[in-house]
Chain A
Amino acid sequence: MTAALTGLGYQRWALDAILLLPLLGAVLVLLSPPAAAKRLALYVTLAEFVVSLGLWWTFQPTAAMQFQVVRQWIPEWGIGYRLGVDGISLFLLLLTTLTMPLAVLGSWSYITRHERPYYALLLVLTTGMLGVFVALDLFVFYVFWEIMLIPMYFIIGVWGGPSRLYAAIKFFVYTFLGSLLMLVAILTIYFAVARATGESSFAYDHLWRNIGYVRPWAFWLFAAFALAFAIKVPMFPFHTWLPDAHVEAPTAGSVILAGILLKMGTYGFLRFAVPLFPEIAMDPVVTGVVVGLSLIGIIYGALVSLVQPDFKKLVAYSSVSHLGFVMLGIWALTLQSVQGAIVIMINHGISTGALFFLAGMMYERRHTRDIAEFGGLAKVMPAFAAVLTVVSLSSIGLPGTNGFVGEFLVLIGAFRTHPWAAGVAATGVIFAAWYLLWAIQRLLFQKVDKPENAKLPDLSPRELAVLAPLLACIVWIGIYPAPILRRIEPSARALVTQVREAAGAPPVADVAMQPGAR
């Protein structure tokens, strides 16, 4: 497979193709007859997925940036179209391309008005999200970061639920506030580095090498990046846009928001905030704040999920909890915890994506998301019940599903540097079981006490097609995550080593056995 792809020169055109294909698709969808829009969007996203799948085979498990594309864009200002993929972004990329066809399929009967612009926006969004993950030029990164914001704003605002405008504006303004600060920080770094080195360039490499020149303002620059990313993650207490946006967005919107957009925040921390400002990130006070907020997020998100009457809101708050684990993993900064954090990012996309799909399927049948309106669905919709149970268990982190792999790695890694934090975070597994099992009990079990529920149709083949790939991933990552972990490892190792060295933090021995320890 690898040889065949290399023969095609895959490494050279892969990223260009992945970024351009959805844009072309968007144009085609806009020009197509309305009835063909969704079909066309599906084909485009499927083609996109197939093209991106080549990365899996051609990716070399090293820490280096691969599939690099470097082109001049605005040479006067040193802005270049610089792209690349490493172990950190590879799976986020694949997750995105996997999610998009499912999102299109999941919108099949949900979206009934303005189909062409909807699918066109989905495709533009795809390019935006993928661009964020592959950009190696801070200007280009910022452009993609904003590009993905706009389609999402419209998707929520036009096709969303009853208070969609409030949610859309909140989402947009909140995120935008953070990204503007980030833009200021990017420009500050750019000018400072340009002045000091005489070379104007937004290239990530260049800025990263010369980041020492901004040391006097490093804290504020870090803060600007961190705020932008923390809003996106979202970390407590910047999370309140999330339940609104998730609940009001159409199914595919929620899936993409939870599955991919939230990862931009944690990805930003991994790619930019932490490596650019290692000594700030590893500062005891900053670490304390971030780890503390992550823990609050884990426990708080879980407890608030517990009492949500609305299933989508429950899942939304559970995201706060899951992303808390990711942040803890990043800040614990051990190989295992960082690998685990990346795995949770993938897992959360799969499991929470599936949960939102399921919530959407419930909504399409009953036009309510109120948990109390359901009950006894296991009898009426056995396949739905089985899938919901499996997905919930994955979200709970049952060993043998993907959820466990990520949480276990994060916690075991975090325990090496922050034992108390890891211990507190581990209680999250109890609450996770509580809120999800309680929810599925109220949805699936007990008697069918509402006549409206007695005749609900079980999953259709199309819905099964949406869920089946996610279920397969849940099981696959649960029992054989090694291929994924091996591809992530070199990049994660490089990150941990570099940041620890730069911050002067003691390296965490990555060797076995420390005889003499008690």
Chain B
Amino acid sequence: MLLGPALAVSAILFSLGVAGVLLRRNAIIIFMCVELMLNAANLAFVALAQQLGPDGQVIVFFVMAVAAAEAAVGLAIVLAIYRHKQTLDIQNLNLLRG
């Protein structure tokens, strides 16, 4: 597996994730984009682990565990918001506005 293309794919995935978080308004999609970024990072870890030893692969498991936890908590929050507001458009979720 070539390092260069793998990292390139990781970078593209990450940028897509960032763009999604920045541009989309639906909370679930934003949430998915966050997952996308996490997985982009995972890809970079795995790719680099080829050269730098297995530490990177171990980290990937950590990240997956965190992502799972995040998904659980995050989806619960999204559900709670939807129940409360009947919408998932983040434009309307501005309770913290100063």
- A–B: direct contact at CB < 8 Å: no
Residues of A within 8 A of B (CB): none
Residues of B within 8 A of A (CB): none
